Each structure stands twice: as structure tokens, then as C-alpha cells.
């Protein structure tokens, strides 16, 4: 956990059996100048131009502090628990990890159903974006990732090696980009139903259960926890 490349906007406090993650919620990497965000107050995924607004990033992505406690020693559960909408984990950039879905009915996969209008993306090249604006038009911020966060992995992953930690899920297991041992790109077929497997990683050379975000198909992130979530 200490070995992760936490951004300057992240404060980690280690307790007896858990650690506390605090950040301003704004990712520590570059963002596009604008985003397509769903119309105010809409929680239905947009499917076309008339359902989104072009919003400047300084309004769309605002500080939305995260304060979450995560187990230091994850507890394995044979029975997986579905991840829900909203925060499923935290990234070293200070922003949130989400599952791959944009809606509760799991019909809109953010990466697959992504679109852009005049070069302004719904989900950006880091596979992240902000939540819809609040009904009063104020920014709601809460930038989050729905797929491999390339702005993070490009900076920390080395060619020919297993990916480095990009964050932790709420069950305490670490999360990695798509590079497995030797830098081989791992796919969903190589992983269990929760996009995890056991093996050595740079931070845990003895081996640990860990999740991989993948590039091949949904779930690009993690659709279920294999650890106990409080
Ligand atoms: Zn989203
Ligand atoms: Zn691995």
C-alpha cells in the first residue's frame, strides 16, 4: 500500500487494520478542456447530441472530496458481491474507480458506448469523465474511471513488466492496469469473474489476489468484489 505512487493530492493514514484515503477528488493528470455531460439532473445515459451539454472542465470537474476507509488485510469471499454504481475504489491520481456501467440497468457500457461531438468526449482518453451536473447547474465533479486509466498507467507501467498499482478497491485488494507478468497484456478470459487472479506483482512479489483493468471487452474494470466490503 505504501508502495503505490499516490498523487500529491492524496493523504493516506494507516491504522491498525485499515487505511484512510483522503483526496480532493480531482485527478492529478491532464484533462481535456471540455466534456460532454448529461443534461442537468439526468441520470439516464445519453445516446445523442440532444441529451448532453458541452461543459468547460473547470465547471464539470470540481473538488469533490473523497474520504474512505479501506481494509489493509482483505478478507476473501468465495461468493462475489456485485459492484454498484458510484465509487468502487480509489486511484493513485486521487479520483474514483467505477465499474464499467453508466446506469443501474447495466445497459450503457461507458467505454463501448462512448461518443464525442466536435472532438469533445463523453469519456476521455483516460477512460474517465465527470458525473452529470447538479440540477442547479453547479458542478458535481466526481471524476471517475470506467476503464484502463491510461493517464496513470502510461506514467507508471514499465515495458516488459507487470503493471504497477493504480489503486485499491473497497474490499482492499489492489488494482492494476492490463500488463501481467513479463508485460504480457492480460485479457478477461485469463481472469476470474471479478477480473482478478493470484500472482506476483511489483509491490507484492510473493503473490497476492489482485484485479486487472482490461482492454479487450466489458467488464473493462471490475464488476464484482471477491473480498468482503464493509
Ligand atoms: Zn460515468
Ligand atoms: Zn496480475
In-domain check, residue 2: no
Please write the tens of the pLDDT for every residue from 136-173.
Answer: 655 567 899 999 999 999 999 999 999 999 999 999 99
Tell which wins on pLDDT, 214 or 52. Answer: 214
Residues in the chain: 230
In-domain check, residue 16: yes
In-domain check, residue 191: yes
Q: Closest ligand to 201 CA?
A: 2
- Residues whose Cβ atom is located within 5 A of ion ligand 2: 180, 199
Tell which wins on pLDDT, 22 or 44. Answer: 22
In-domain check, residue 75: yes
pLDDT of residue 14: 96
Q: Examine the pLDDT at 47 and tell me if it is beyond 80.
A: no
**DSSP string over 127-189:** SEEPPPPPTTS------EESS--HHHHHHH--TTSPPPEEEEETTS-EEE-SB-GGGPBP-GG
Question: What is the CA(171)–ligand 2 centre distance, in A?
Answer: 17
Specify the DSSP element, H or E, that contains 98: none
How many structural domains are present in the chain? 1
Local structure of residue 49 (DSSP, 8 states):
G
Q: Closest ligand to 203 CA?
A: 2
Q: Examine the pLDDT at 100 and tell me if it is beyond 90.
A: yes
pTM, rounded to two decimals: 0.94
In-domain check, residue 93: yes
| CA 165/CA 5 separation, integer angstroms | 8
Phi, psi of 52 (to 5 degrees): -130, 160
Residue partners of 100: CB distance under 8 A and separation at least 6: 109, 110, 111, 146, 147, 218, 219, 220, 221, 223
In-domain check, residue 138: yes
Q: Examine the pLDDT at 29 and tell me if it is beyond 60.
A: yes
pLDDT of residue 96: 96
Question: What is the CA(156)–ligand 1 centre distance, in A?
Answer: 24
Report CA-CA distances (Å) from 168 to 70, 94, 156, 182. 8, 11, 15, 22
For the record, the C-alpha cell of 100 comes out as 464499467
Q: Is 108 exposed, middle or buried (0-12, 13-18, 19+ CB in 10 A)?
A: middle
Pairing of strands 34-38, 89-91: unpaired
Other CB atoms within a 10 A radius of the CB of residue 32 amount to 16
| Mean pLDDT of all residues in 47-55 | 79
pLDDT of residue 51: 81
| Mean pLDDT of all residues in 85-114 | 92
Please write the tens of the pLDDT for every residue from 61-89.
Answer: 988 899 999 999 999 999 999 999 899 99
| Mean pLDDT of all residues in 204-217 | 97
Q: Examine the pLDDT at 118 and tell me if it is beyond 60.
A: yes
In-domain check, residue 5: no
Question: What is the CA(129)–ligand 1 centre distance, in A?
Answer: 6
pLDDT of residue 40: 65
Residue partners of 16: CB distance under 8 A and separation at least 6: none
pLDDT of residue 65: 92
Phi, psi of 50 (to 5 degrees): -70, -10
| Mean pLDDT of all residues in 196-221 | 97
| Mean pLDDT of all residues in 195-205 | 97
Q: Examine the pLDDT at 19 and tell me if it is beyond 70.
A: yes
Structural domain of 189: 10-227
| Mean pLDDT of all residues in 192-207 | 97
CB 170 within 8 A of CB 68: yes
Q: Which of 23-32, 52-61, 147-156, 218-227 has the lowest mean pLDDT?
A: 52-61
Q: Which of 35-44, 118-127, 192-201 has the lowest mean pLDDT?
A: 35-44
In-domain check, residue 4: no
pLDDT of residue 141: 72
| CA 96/CA 145 separation, integer angstroms | 6
Amino acid at each position: 500500500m505504501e508502495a503505490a505512487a499516490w498523487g500529491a493530492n492524496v493523504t493516506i493514514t494507516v491504522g491498525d487494520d485499515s487505511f484512510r484515503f483522503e483526496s480532493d477528488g480531482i485527478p492529478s493528470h491532464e484533462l481535456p478542456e471540455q466534456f460532454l455531460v448529461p443534461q442537468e439532473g439526468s441520470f439516464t445515459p445519453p445516446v445523442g447530441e440532444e441529451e448532453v451539454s458541452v461543459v468547460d472542465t473547470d465547471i464539470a470537474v470540481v473538488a469533490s472530496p473523497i474520504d474512505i476507509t479501506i481494509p489493509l488485510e482483505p478478507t476473501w469471499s468465495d461468493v462475489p458481491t456485485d459492484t454498484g454504481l458510484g465509487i468502487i475504489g480509489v486511484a493513485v491520481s486521487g479520483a474514483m474507480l467505477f465499474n464499467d456501467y453508466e446506469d443501474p440497468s447495466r445497459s450503457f457500457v461507458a467505454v463501448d458506448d462512448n461518443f464525442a461531438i466536435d472532438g469533445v468526449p463523453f469519456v476521455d482518453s483516460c477512460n474517465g469523465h465527470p458525473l452529470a451536473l447538479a440540477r442547479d447547474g453547479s458542478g458535481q465533479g466526481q471524476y471517475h474511471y470506467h476503464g484502463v486509466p491510461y493517464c496513470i498507467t502510461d506514467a507508471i507501467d514499465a515495458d516488459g513488466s507487470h503493471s504497477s498499482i493504480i489503486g485499491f478497491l473497497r474490499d482492499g485488494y489492489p488494482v492494476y492496469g492490463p500488463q501481467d507478468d513479463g508485460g504480457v497484456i492480460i485479457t478477461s478470459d485469463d481472469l476470474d469473474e471479478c477480473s482478478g487472479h493470484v500472482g506476483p506483482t511489483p509491490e507484492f512479489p510473493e503473490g497476492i489476489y489482485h484485479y486487472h483493468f482490461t482492454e479487450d471487452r466489458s467488464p473493462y474494470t471490475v464488476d464484482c468484489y471477491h473480498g468482503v466490503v464493509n
